A and B are shown apart, each in its own frame.
Chain A
Amino acid sequence: MADNELGLRYWQSGRITRRRFLGGVAVAGAGAAAIGLVGCSSGKKSGGSSQTPGASGTARVNDGTQDGAPTHLGGILRVRQNPALPSMNVFGPGIFPLAQGLFLGFTTFDHMWYVPTDTGQVELFLATKVEQPDATTVIATLGDATFHDKDPVNGRAVKASDVVASFKRFREEVGIGFDFLHNVMDDIVATDDKTVKITMKFPWAWVFTSSNAGSPIYSSIMPEEILHGHDDLLQKDAIGSGHWVLDSHENGANIKLRKFQQFRTYQNGKSIAGQPYLDGVDFKLITDDNAALAAFRANEIDSTGFSNRKQMEDTISALGDRIRTSSDLSRDYMCLMIRYDPPFNDVRVRQAFNLLIDRQKAIDLLEDGDAVKCGPVPPAHKLYALTEDSDDVMKEYFRHDVKDARDLLTAASWDFDSEWTMRHSNRQGDSDLAQFLQAQLGEGGVKINLEQQDLVKWFSQTLNQSDFKLTCFQHLPYEDPDLPLRFYLGPGDGRTDNFMRYQDDTVDAAILAAAKELDEDARIEKTKEAQRAVMRAYAPMFNIFSQISFGGSYSYVKGQITGRGSYGLFNRTTWLDKA
């Protein structure tokens, strides 16, 4: 009996055959495509103030006063957090303290001084005076400051002994290769409640920089009474004397900072009374990049970074004058690192590999042109970095020549049938770079097999245990040229081996000469000479490019510091121009 007779079908007409239905779907699909092509937005909006660097990557330096004096005080700045911090303990375990060390170092903890990238000059923070009576001694006089009002510290005054204890506590942890605390600093003592004396094993001109005694991580000042035996406290809370108090967090996520009302009122000889201008900063955990951009467009957060220029331009066209964008030359950089084992201990092989890397092509392919070629010192360190235009050694270093490369490999009796494994992490940038290098080296007849690894495993085992033949990765954004050059420094004088297991006496001598030169102008020249030494030796870490980074914030966010390296992360001068 047909279904109709049961009355279960409510209409008899319009019975759709399969053909008619599929035809309708096709029409609907064409309509949807048409709408997509035409676009359903209201059209491009103009506007959105922007400062975009040119090919050289120079961006305007803003010191926080560019928007005038703050007209509104208070308010909460909302920014993205990714990822969640594993704990608040800056002392360990393992590799993850870097994340909380950096985060808390720019927020909850104070420091004696800081050296911004653009000037390379010491800016005094907690220290009101710094003297160097001789090449191996630094004496810092501290100003008045107090810790946050939390148990068991309860807002007491910061003493020199806290600084000493903090430095020594960080020194108890394992360092990364050659580092200031373990290899340069001999001792640190408090000669009285306000005076800290650092003695070094040998003269070290970089002593004040962010890679050394000015590190945002390792120079963080903490109360001495909680540095030992208070692991539980350190895991979940951070007590410092910085301008932000750690107010709350959800196991390392959605962190809320609030203004420390008793923050010191002086800095670098000037009054900073009233800073920070904000009431606080709310960090909102957003793990997905699309979600972060959506949150910014919906004004759920006040500032963001963009993946690339196009994304920035898309956002400008959507939001117009409501936002301000900026771009800056990153201090991080991409590199190819080779372990100094046969056949790579033959300089001809290394030179050949360098000749095979077309850095401009890497910039065009991987960054759509938004990057700058990078030598041993990243170009963001403008005081110290060499440029291709002005230096013949660098010009030759950046030369790309497949024929010359093959000739060199042949002369070095390179086995063109051999296959070499390049290990890289699963970060997108590292994977892309690895594929690019595989193709580039392949043009010269070098067979590369890629092996992708989980980031944790790659960092802790492959890189830190030097368990590789070749690897490629993105360096962190170092604030000064010391650390980029230190990667090439060989073992000796208490120094541990570098990742490449490489040593060259000429290179070492040039790097150490720069590091021990106390005269600033002379140090700049010696740093450049050290770079030339690295390039002439074709030291087995070939830096490729530094990216241009793009960021944006709503127009009511004012007073931000840009173009000064990580200095802007302190956010002391940021204010919100809204009621």
Chain B
Amino acid sequence: MLRYTLRRLSWLPIILFGVSLIAFVVLRTLPGQDPATAIAGQGATPEQIQQLRDQLGLERPIFPISVTRTAVVVPAFHVHAHSQYSEWIGNLVRGDFSREFYSKKPIRDEFKRRFFPSFELVAMSLSISAVIGIAFGILSAVYRNSWLDYVVRLTAVIGASVPEFFLLTLLIVIPSRVWNYSMPVGGYVAPWEDLGRNLRLFVPAALVLGFAGSAGLMRLVRTTMLEVLRADYVRTARAKGLSGRVVVLEHALRNSATPILTALGTSFVAIFGGSVIAEVILSIQGLGLWFFTAAQQRDLTVIQFLVVYTAFVVVIVNLIVDLSYAWLDPRVRYN
């Protein structure tokens, strides 16, 4: 298991390198995306834009190696000691995540400030998604073709169909219209500072994101459970006199866990992306809102960092999911 884990982790730098390369190239080379012009604006002269490009290092080569064709059609390789990418990736490896374009704040400091609100939102949403998805998926399977089953299936379809931003907007509009109620505004408050205010802000959003994330999970759990409930060993367990709860939760569910875990991993990524929308609509100062604002302001250093961070999170989550197979199912061995 350890060797497997280390082997998977050894891929992480390669994946992050690839992602960082793609992000860097795309952000620096797309037409109409010249950051210096976007920043300078205001009728700046070409000389002033050039000065800004020099200050921001945009005049340096993007990559450490560039290729030019010679007259003999043999490519000539040029090595650049101070390319934009090599400086950035070198700093990244050393823990220097660079600074925001406009505020010049260290990205690391801003990341630390924004991490926990996003983490709390995603964790809460994922927990709700898991609880709702698994619980109702089980109930739907157990009470197949009952009114409960139909309600759950309909709910799952609605959850998968209705966009999250619409639900989040309803979350704001309906309480406002009916009760003149609003979620707290004016910044993040940690749960240990004011638990009530924290929950008032996060629970509704987490319920919406969790509901959306649970939709697919409900259907998957139902399908998997139905398959398992028909198995011979389940019949045997029942015949041995075990209670329905033990049969369902300890035998059937456990054997359905592998695809459920996979779906949870996928659900996490979906919730991670959906949290951007939630943070923007609810003005939660998390990583998602930061990403959104940076994209609007063409803050390339922030966008680059967050793209790499997202890739890191996805890789780690997938690894955790894969490792959990072995923990849940003794038959799974990683050699």
Residues on A close to B: CB < 8 A?
Answer: 1, 3, 6-11, 14-16, 18, 21, 25, 40-41, 78, 83-84, 86-87, 89, 93-96, 174-177, 231-232, 235-236, 250-254, 282, 284-288, 290-291, 293-295, 297-301, 318-319, 454-457, 459-461, 464-465, 496
Given the complex, which residues of B lie within 8 Å of A86, measured CB to CB?
102-103, 297
Given the complex, which residues of A lie within 8 Å of B37, measured CB to CB?
460-461
Given the complex, which residues of B lie within 8 Å of A40, measured CB to CB?
178
Assembly CA distance A250 to B187 (angstroms): 8
Assembly CA distance A366 to B183 (angstroms): 31
Known A290-B169, A496-B43: A14·B147 in contact at CB below 8 Å: yes
In addition to A9-B142, A300-B186, 5 A-B residue pairs with Cβ atoms within 8 Å of each other are: A176-B43, A235-B105, A251-B113, A288-B282, A293-B176
Q: Is the CB of A232 within 8 A of B104?
A: yes
Whether, in the assembled complex, B319 has its beta carbon less than 8 Å from a beta carbon of chain A, the answer is no
Q: Is the CB of B173 within 8 A of A294?
A: yes
CB-CB nearest in chain B for A297: B180
Given the complex, which residues of A lie within 8 Å of B32, measured CB to CB?
457, 461
Known A15-B146, A174-B40, A236-B105: A300·B283 in contact at CB below 8 Å: no
Q: Is the CB of A235 within 8 A of B146?
A: no
Assembly CA distance A9 to B37 (angstroms): 68
Q: Is the CB of B150 within 8 A of A16?
A: yes
Say which residue of A174, A231, A251, A298 sits within 8 Å of B48 (CB atoms). Answer: A174
CB-CB nearest in chain B for A78: B186
Mostly helix, strand, loop or mixed at chain A's interface? loop
Q: Is the CB of A175 within 8 A of B42?
A: yes
Known A288-B282, A460-B38: A297·B184 in contact at CB below 8 Å: no
Task: Please list 14 pairs of residues, one from A and one from B, whose beta carbons are closer than 8 Å in the complex, sorted by A's number.
Answer: A1-B235, A3-B144, A7-B238, A8-B244, A14-B147, A18-B150, A94-B41, A174-B48, A236-B103, A251-B103, A287-B281, A288-B172, A294-B175, A300-B185
Known A8-B229, A285-B187, A456-B296: A93·B102 in contact at CB below 8 Å: yes
Mostly helix, strand, loop or mixed at chain B's interface? helix
A29 to chain B, nearest CB (A): 12
Whether, in the assembled complex, B182 has its beta carbon less than 8 Å from a beta carbon of chain A, the answer is yes
Q: Is the CB of B182 within 8 A of A297?
A: yes
Given the complex, which residues of A lie within 8 Å of B187, measured CB to CB?
250, 253-254, 284-285
Q: Is the CB of A460 within 8 A of B41?
A: yes
Given the complex, which residues of A lie within 8 Å of B297, measured CB to CB?
86, 96, 456
Q: Is the CB of B43 within 8 A of A464?
A: yes
Given the complex, which residues of B lie within 8 Å of A235, measured CB to CB?
103-105
Whether, in the assembled complex, B219 has its beta carbon less than 8 Å from a beta carbon of chain A, the answer is no
* Interface 1/0 per residue, B186-198 and A, CB below 8 Å: 1100000000000
Say which residue of B39, B52, B104, B177 sits within 8 Å of A231 (CB atoms). Answer: B104
Q: Is the CB of B177 within 8 A of A41?
A: yes
CB-CB nearest in chain B for A83: B293
Whether, in the assembled complex, B123 has its beta carbon less than 8 Å from a beta carbon of chain A, the answer is no
Say which residue of B38, B178, B183, B229 sits within 8 Å of A94 (CB atoms). Answer: B38
Assembly CA distance A380 to B3 (angstroms): 74
Say which residue of A286, A455, A457 sits within 8 Å of B185 (CB atoms). Answer: A286
Given the complex, which residues of A lie within 8 Å of B48, measured CB to CB?
174
Q: Is the CB of A177 within 8 A of B102?
A: no
Q: Is the CB of B182 within 8 A of A295?
A: yes
Q: Is the CB of A285 within 8 A of B105?
A: no
Q: Is the CB of A7 within 8 A of B244?
A: yes
B36 to chain A, nearest CB (A): 9
Given the complex, which residues of A lie within 8 Å of B280, measured CB to CB?
287-288
B166 to chain A, nearest CB (A): 11
Q: Is the CB of A16 within 8 A of B244?
A: no
Shortest beta-carbon contacts, A-B, top 7: A460-B41, A298-B182, A294-B176, A284-B186, A94-B39, A86-B102, A95-B41
CB-CB nearest in chain A for B169: A290
Assembly CA distance A442 to B48 (angstroms): 40
CB-CB nearest in chain B for A16: B147
Given the complex, which residues of A lie within 8 Å of B248, measured CB to CB?
8
B276 to chain A, nearest CB (A): 12
Given the complex, which residues of B lie within 8 Å of A253, measured CB to CB?
187, 285
Q: Is the CB of B180 within 8 A of A290?
A: no
Assembly CA distance A464 to B49 (angstroms): 13
Given the complex, which residues of B lie within 8 Å of A297, measured CB to CB?
176, 180, 182
* Interface 1/0 per residue, B264-282 and A, CB below 8 Å: 0000000000000000111
CB-CB nearest in chain B for A457: B32
Say which residue of A16, A93, A232 sits within 8 Å of B52 (CB atoms). Answer: A93
CB-CB nearest in chain B for A294: B176
Given the complex, which residues of A lie within 8 Å of B44, measured CB to CB?
94, 174, 464
Q: Is the CB of A287 within 8 A of B283?
A: yes
A281 to chain B, nearest CB (A): 12
Say which residue of B110, B172, B298 sits within 8 Å of A291 (CB atoms). Answer: B172
Q: Is the CB of A87 within 8 A of B185?
A: no
Given the complex, which residues of B lie within 8 Å of A464, measured CB to CB?
41-44
Given the complex, which residues of B lie within 8 Å of A83, measured CB to CB?
293
Whether, in the assembled complex, B334 has its beta carbon less than 8 Å from a beta carbon of chain A, the answer is no
Q: Is the CB of B186 within 8 A of A285?
A: yes
Whether, in the assembled complex, B154 has its beta carbon less than 8 Å from a beta carbon of chain A, the answer is yes
Q: Is the CB of B238 within 8 A of A6?
A: yes
CB-CB nearest in chain A for B142: A8
Given the complex, which residues of B lie within 8 Å of A84, measured CB to CB?
293
Assembly CA distance A286 to B184 (angstroms): 10
Given the complex, which residues of A lie within 8 Å of B183, measured CB to CB?
291, 294
Assembly CA distance A454 to B39 (angstroms): 14
A461 to chain B, nearest CB (A): 6
Given the complex, which residues of B lie within 8 Å of A175, measured CB to CB?
42-43
